[in-house]
């Protein structure tokens, strides 16, 4: 996939430049006609090249659904998803997807799970394994290379999956609660790792998280979804904190606190609404 790496920083793209991901009036309904459940009523979202977008929203609103659309794993019921300006048909080959659920191959050791992506791209086995070892070390699992997934803890499995995705250096990163089962400290380390990689070659990132601080400290933009059914995108907050950032430090700035409170209130009202709806049913 030859592609000229964007050399400008986020936010400075000429408007005419094609975006990395563009969800255009996307609607997703699950089930067949009589049992249809409209998860996402309408989502319009544009992620520019090299942009780091965080998505937050109440549980069950349709965040994973949107990632699946961008990955090409499910097709929108209406609307289109464009990747680099081209409507997506079938799988999105340029994307790396870190799934919310366990998705490691249980029959492969940690190192093989990480190396496999390179191997199928024709990298020699020994080189692939070597680079995989390097990646496992970066996510703090140097001692666990030879474990099968069922011999790892939840957080360890997640980190293996992280290494598995990052090793391929995809142009577009789709991450569904990547740091969910990690302790706060490891979470920060992983966040720094991710930001470091991102700043090297400015991939586009869509990052789902429930941790609002994490969302703000890492991203260029925080997108808020409303509660389902029929979720839509109800908020889009640009994060104007300078780059490069130290995600641990940036939390203590006033701008951060202001943004945090703003988004938090918005989100909170949304969830309260959802529960009220639920109760009135």
Partner 1 sequence: MNRRTILLLQILVGLGFFVIWHFGTTVPMPNGKPLINPFFFSTPLDVLARTWKDFASGVIWRHLYVTALEMVLAFIIGSVLGIVVGFWFARRALTAAVFDPYVKAANALPRVVLAPIFALWFGLGIWSKVALGVTLVFFVVFFNVYQGVKEVSPTVLANARMLGMNNRQLLRHVYMPSAMSWVFSSLHTSVGFALVGAVVGEYLGSSAGLGYRIAQAEGVFDVTGVFSGMLVLTAFVILVDLMVSAVERRLLVWRPSAPTSTAQG
Residue among 140 and 155 whose Cβ is closer to partner 1: 155
Q: How far is the CB of 74 from ligand ATP (least distance, A)?
A: 9
Task: For residue 184, state whether it binds its own copies (rule: CB under 8 A).
Answer: yes
Choosing among ligand ATP, partner 1, its own copies, none, which partner's interface includes residue 211 (Cβ < 5 to 8 Å by kind)? its own copies
Task: For residue 186, state whether it binds Mg ion (rule: CB under 5 A).
Answer: no
Task: For residue 232, state whether it binds its own copies (rule: CB under 8 A).
Answer: no
Residue list 1-60, contact with partner 1 (CB under 8 A): 30
- Which of 181, 199, 232, 243 binds its own copies (CB under 8 A)? It is 181
Q: What is the 3-state secondary structure (H, E, C) of the chain?
A: CCCCCCCCCCCCCCCCCCCCEEEEEEEEEECCHHHCEEEEEEEEEEECCCCEEEEECCCCCCHHHHHHHHHCCCCCCEEEEEECCEECCCCCCCEEEECCCCCCCCCCCHHHHHHHHHHHCCCCHHHHHHHHHHHHHHCCCHHHCCCCHHHCCHHHHHHHHHHHHHCCCCCEEEEECCCCCCCHHHHHHHHHHHHHHHHHHCCEEEEECCCHHHHHHHCCEEEEECCCCCEEEEEEEECCCCCCCCHHHHCCCHHHHHHHHHHHHHHHHHHHHHHHHHHHC
Task: For residue 154, state whether it binds Mg ion (rule: CB under 5 A).
Answer: yes
- Which of 86, 101, 143, 254 binds partner 1 (CB under 8 A)? It is 101
Which residues of the shown chain bind partner 1 in the complex (CB under 8 A)?
30, 64, 67-68, 71, 73-75, 91, 93, 95-97, 99-109, 116-117, 120-121, 148, 150, 153-154, 161, 164, 168, 176
Which residues of the shown chain bind its own copies in the complex (CB under 8 A)?
30-31, 56-60, 62-64, 100-102, 137, 140, 142-144, 151-156, 159, 177, 180-187, 189, 210-212, 229, 264, 267-268, 271-272, 274-275, 278-279, 281
Which residues of the shown chain bind Mg ion in the complex (CB under 5 A)?
64, 100, 153-154
């Amino acid at each position: 996939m030859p592609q000229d790496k964007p050399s400008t920083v986020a936010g400075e793209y000429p408007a005419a430049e094609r975006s990395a991901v563009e969800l255009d009036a996307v609607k997703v309904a699950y089930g067949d006609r009589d049992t249809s459940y409209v998860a996402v009523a309408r989502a319009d979202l544009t992620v520019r090249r090299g942009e780091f977008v965080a998505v937050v929203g109440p549980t069950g609103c349709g965040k994973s659904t949107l990632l699946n659309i961008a990955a090409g794993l499910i097709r929108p019921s209406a609307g289109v998803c464009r990747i680099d300006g081209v409507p997506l048909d079938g799988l999105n080959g340029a994307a790396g997807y870190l799934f919310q659920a366990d998705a490691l191959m249980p029959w492969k050791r940690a190192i093989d799970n990480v190396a496999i992506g390179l191997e199928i791209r024709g990298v020699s086995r020994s080189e692939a394994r070597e680079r995989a070892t390097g990646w496992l070390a970066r996510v703090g699992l140097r001692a666990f290379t030879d474990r099968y997934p069922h011999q790892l803890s939840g957080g360890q499995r997640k980190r293996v999956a992280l290494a598995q995705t990052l090793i391929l250096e995809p142009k577009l990163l789709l991450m569904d609660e990547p740091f969910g089962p990690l302790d706060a400290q490891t979470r920060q380390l992983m966040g720094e790792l991710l930001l470091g990689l991102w700043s090297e070659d400015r991939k586009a990132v869509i990052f789902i998280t429930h941790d609002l601080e994490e969302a703000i400290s890492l991203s260029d933009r925080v997108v808020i979804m409303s509660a389902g059914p029929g979720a839509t995108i109800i908020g889009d907050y640009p994060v104007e904190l300078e780059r490069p950032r130290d995600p641990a430090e940036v939390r203590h700035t006033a701008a951060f606190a202001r943004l945090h409170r703003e988004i938090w209130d918005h989100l909170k009202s949304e969830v309260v609404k959802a529960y009220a709806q639920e109760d009135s049913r």
